[in-house]
Amino acid sequence: MAELKPFSNAPISEAVLDIRLDAERAPAFAELDRFVQAVKADYPHAKKVGEIRAELRADLGAAETPQFTQTASAEPFGYQCVSEDRKQIVQPRVSGFVFSRLRPYDRWSTFSAEARRLFEMYTTEFGVRTVRRVAVRTINRLDIPGPRVDFKEWIRTGPEVSPALPQGLASFFMQLHQPYDVVKAHCIINETLVPPEVPDTVAVVLDIDLFRVDEIPVEPDQLWSLFDELRDKKDEIFLGCITDKMRETFK
């Protein structure tokens, strides 16, 4: 499938390329600073990212009433490095590598070339030879002229309400998890209403995450051919989720 001609009003709020490692092959957190310094000229805004862990303990001792203590700690697992214009983000992690582009999104060839350059720096720095999971993801914001709409005119994959019930929707959330054997991958589609940014519109987020879990060699041409293949299928899924009328609003 040839790369889609870029839309002048592309609906992509964020494009993401995600690569994950097996735990036993991951770099230590202290090592990640080398990568942060290597990309600092292009991604000067860096901060640690981590998870908050909370623990609640009960001391049953001699007291009639148990005494509870709560502790919380933050455990860093990577960095978030942001470009000067705040549109591109690279995240070196102990579990892998994430690259994302915020709106405006240009095209796949530009996006993937920068992701490849950065990931090859990551693999060289930490001696990565294989990865465990690869994914391409796009978070699309669909602004439908409203304020009241018939979703069937705009979205082919969406909520369907019984005709015996009122047809108005104040909110909804829908998730699909589908196998795509032709690319040996799975796709998670999340769709939900969000507050509109444009007056007299209905805003829908269509989040498409296509991923493969396997023992995947980090051989550059082979790995990035796989990403091209996943991107083709992801574009096919996206177009399958919307109508031609919706597509016209991107031009």
Exposure of 143 by Cβ count < 10 A (0-12 exposed, 13-18 middle, 19+ buried)? middle
Nearest-CA neighbor of 28 among 155, 127, 98, 101?
Answer: 127
* Domain assignments of the chain as residue spans, ordered by start: 129-251
pLDDT tens, per residue, the chain with 251 residues: 445 566 778 899 999 999 999 877 789 999 999 999 999 999 999 999 986 555 666 665 555 666 666 655 568 899 999 999 999 999 999 999 999 999 999 899 999 999 999 999 999 999 999 999 999 999 999 999 987 888 999 999 988 889 898 878 889 999 999 999 999 999 999 999 999 988 899 999 999 999 999 999 999 899 999 999 999 999 999 999 999 999 999 98
pTM above 0.85, yes or no: yes
Residues contacting 98, CB < 8 A, separation 6+: 16, 17, 18, 19, 89, 90, 91
| CA dist., res. 211 & res. 231, Å (int) | 10
Q: Could you tell me how far CA 176 lies from the centroid of its own chain?
A: 16
Tell me the pairing of strands 88-93 and 130-145.
unpaired
